[in-house]
Chain A
Amino acid sequence: MYDPTVARLTYRALLGRRRALILGALPLLLIAISVVVRGLAGADDQTASDLLGGLALATMVPIIGVIAGTGAIGPEIDDGSVVYLLSKPIKRPTIIFTKLIVAIAVTMVFSAVPTLIAGFILNGNGQQIAVAYTVAALVASIAYAALFLLLGTVSRHAVVFGLVYALVWEALFGSLVAGARTLSVQQWSLAVAQKVAGGDLVTSDVGLTTATVLLVAVTVLATWYAGQKLRSLTLAGEE
C-alpha cells in the first residue's frame, strides 16, 4: 500500500526548491508571535488557549493542510504529468494512500510541532494546554490532508474550495450558525483536545464519540473516494 518512489516524488513536489521555506514561514511566525505575547502578557492560560485555538488551530493548520493536501496531487493533474505516474503498474489506491501519508506527515511537521513549541513558550504547558492543542493539530492534520487530497483529485480549483471550506465555513458560518460547527474538522479535533486537557479552557461543541466517528469516517471515505476518482481520471484540456 505504500510506494517509496511515489512518496519521494511527492516530498520533492511539496518541499522541493524554495517551497519548504515558504511553508516554514507560517510556523516561524506563530512561534515569533508566541514569544512577543509571552513578553507582553506573561504566562497566562487563557491567552495561551486563545492564541493556540484562534491562530494555530483555526488558521494555520487548515492553510498548511490545504497547501500540503492539494499540493500533493493537484499540480500533477494540472500540468498533465500525472499520466506518467498513472501509466506505471502501481495501483491507483496505492498512489493515493502514499500521497496521503506524505501530506499528513508534512501537515503534522509544519503545524503540530510549532503548536507544541508555541504552547510551551506561551505558558510552559500549564493545564496541559500545549499538549491538548498539539493532539488536536495532529488529529486535524489527518482529516484535513485526506479531505483536501480528495478535493485535489475532484476539482481543478481545489485550493479555492479548500480555503472556502476552511475559512468561510469553519470560521464564518461556524461562528454564526451553531449547526455548522457539528460539521467542522476543527470542532472534532477540539473534542479530542478537550478530552486531553480535561479543564474548561479547551471546549468543543461536539461530543468525543461523535467526533471520533466522524473523523475516522471522513478520513477513510475521502481516501477511498479519491482512489476511485483517480481510477477514472479524465484529463481536461481547457481549465
Chain B
Amino acid sequence: MAVEQPMRTPAAPSGDQTRIHNIGYRSYDGPRLGRSYATRSLYSQSLRGSYGLGRSVKSKVLPMLLFVVMCVPAAIMVAVAVATKAKDLPVDYTRYAIVMQAVISLYVASQAPQSVSRDLRFKTVPLYFSRPIETADYVRAKFAALASALFILTAAPLLVLYVGALLAKLDFTDQTKGFAQGLVSVALLSLLFAGLGLVIASVTPRRGFGIAAVIAVLTISYGAVSTLQAIADAQTSTGSIAWIGLFSPITLIDGVQSAFLGASSAFPGGVGPTNGEGVVYVLVTLGLIAACYGLMMRRYRKVGL
C-alpha cells in the first residue's frame, strides 16, 4: 500500500537520519502546563474524592452521611439556643470536635485508605510519577487534600454554631473570639489526623486493612490514655494526667487548646496542662505532623518504582 505519507521534511536533514520509520506523527508543541498544574489537579481530584464527588453513588454515601452526622447536632444546638434565648451556646467551639471525635475518626479511617491505598493496589503510583510531578508533590497534594477535607468536615459545624450564635444575638466579640480559637484548633486537628491516617494507609494496599488499622490506632490510643488518666485521677496523682495525655492524638489536641486556646479541658478532673506543659503539647503536635510528612516522603521515595 503505497499511501503517500505526509512527511515532515525538516529544513536541514542533517544529523538525525538513523530512524527506521518516520510514520509522520506530529509531536506536541502546545503549551505544557507543568508540575504545579499537575499537583493542583491531583489535590483537587483527591479533595473531591474524599467526599465521593466524581465517584460512584455508593462511595458518596458514607462521607456525606458522616458530614451530615457532624453538622446535625450543631444545628439542633443552635435551634435550641435561638428558641430558648439562651445566654450562651451549650457547647464551646473548641469542645465540639472533641465530643464528635468518633465521627471524625471514622471519616479519617474511611477516606485516608480511599485516597492512597487504591493507588498502591492498582499500581497507578508509577503512572503519577511518569507525569512531571515529584514524590514531594504527590505527598503534599494528598496530605493537603485530606487535611482540607477534614477541615471542611470539622469547621462546617463550627460555622453553623457561629452563624446561629449571631442569629441568637449572642455577644459578637465573644463569639468571634471563640469561633477563631475553634478554627485554629480544628485546623491543627485536621493536619494531625490527616497525617496519621495517610501514613498508616500508605503502608498497606488493602483498603479494609487500612481502615481497621487507622481506627485501631485512633480509638485504642484514646481508650488507653483515658483509662490511664481516669486511674491517675482516682489515685489523686493529678500531675501525671497531663503527661499521659501526650500519647493519643485527640487528647493532644485537647491539651493544646486548653493550654493556649481558652478551652476547658475534657481530661478527668478538668485539669488541663499548664502553660509549660502546653508548650510540650504544641511541640509534640507539630513534631508528629512533621514526622508524618517525613514518613510519607520516605515511603513514596521507593514505592512503585
Q: Which of B56, B209, B230, B234 contacts A67 (CB 8 A)?
A: B209
| A158 is an interface residue with CB less than 8 A from chain B | yes
Known A-B contacts A41-B235, A172-B102; the reply to A63 vs B215 at CB < 8 A is yes
Query: For chain B residues 130-165, which have a beta carbon within 8 Å of chain A?
Result: none
* B224 pairs with A55, CB closer than 8 A: yes
* A36 pairs with B228, CB closer than 8 A: yes
Shortest distance between the CB of B267 and any CB in chain A (Å): 16
Q: Which of B62, B109, B219, B231 contacts A47 (CB 8 A)?
A: B231
Q: Which of A19, A70, A160 contacts B109 (CB 8 A)?
A: A160
A163 vs B106: C-alpha distance when bound (angstroms): 8
Q: Contact mask A40-68 → B, CB, 8 Å, 1/0?
A: 11000001001100110011100100110
Query: For chain B residues 201-255, which have a beta carbon within 8 Å of chain A?
Result: 206-209, 211-213, 215-216, 219-220, 223-224, 227-228, 230-232, 234-235, 237
- Nearest chain-B residue to A171 (Cβ)? B102
Interface residue SS majority, chain B? helix
Question: Which residues of chain A are within 8 angstroms of B228 by Cβ–Cβ distance?
Answer: 33, 36-37, 40
Question: Which residues of chain B are within 8 angstroms of A172 by Cβ–Cβ distance?
Answer: 102
| A168 is an interface residue with CB less than 8 A from chain B | yes
A60 vs B37: C-alpha distance when bound (angstroms): 44
Question: Which residues of chain B are within 8 angstroms of A19 by Cβ–Cβ distance?
Answer: 209
Question: Which residues of chain A are within 8 angstroms of B223 by Cβ–Cβ distance?
Answer: 54-55, 58-59
Interface size class, chain A: 35 or more
A55 vs B227: C-alpha distance when bound (angstroms): 8
- Nearest chain-B residue to A19 (Cβ)? B209
A79 vs B231: C-alpha distance when bound (angstroms): 45
* A168 pairs with B106, CB closer than 8 A: yes
Shortest distance between the CB of B94 and any CB in chain A (Å): 21
* B216 pairs with A78, CB closer than 8 A: no
| B302 is an interface residue with CB less than 8 A from chain A | no
* A75 pairs with B220, CB closer than 8 A: no
Known A-B contacts A160-B62, A160-B106; the reply to A75 vs B215 at CB < 8 A is no
A19 vs B206: C-alpha distance when bound (angstroms): 11
Question: Which residues of chain B are within 8 angstroms of A55 by Cβ–Cβ distance?
Answer: 220, 223-224, 227
* B235 pairs with A163, CB closer than 8 A: no
Question: Which residues of chain A are within 8 angstroms of B224 by Cβ–Cβ distance?
Answer: 29, 33, 55
A159 vs B102: C-alpha distance when bound (angstroms): 15
Shortest distance between the CB of A99 and any CB in chain B (Å): 15
* B58 pairs with A239, CB closer than 8 A: yes
Known A-B contacts A54-B227, A75-B206, A168-B106; the reply to A29 vs B58 at CB < 8 A is no
Beyond the given A40-B232, A54-B227, A239-B59, please list 10 additional residue pairs across the A-B interface where CB-CB is below 8 A.
Answer: A40-B235, A55-B224, A63-B212, A63-B215, A67-B216, A71-B212, A159-B211, A167-B102, A167-B106, A168-B102
Chain B residues within 8 Å of A, Cβ to Cβ: 56, 58-59, 62, 102, 105-106, 109-110, 121, 206-209, 211-213, 215-216, 219-220, 223-224, 227-228, 230-232, 234-235, 237
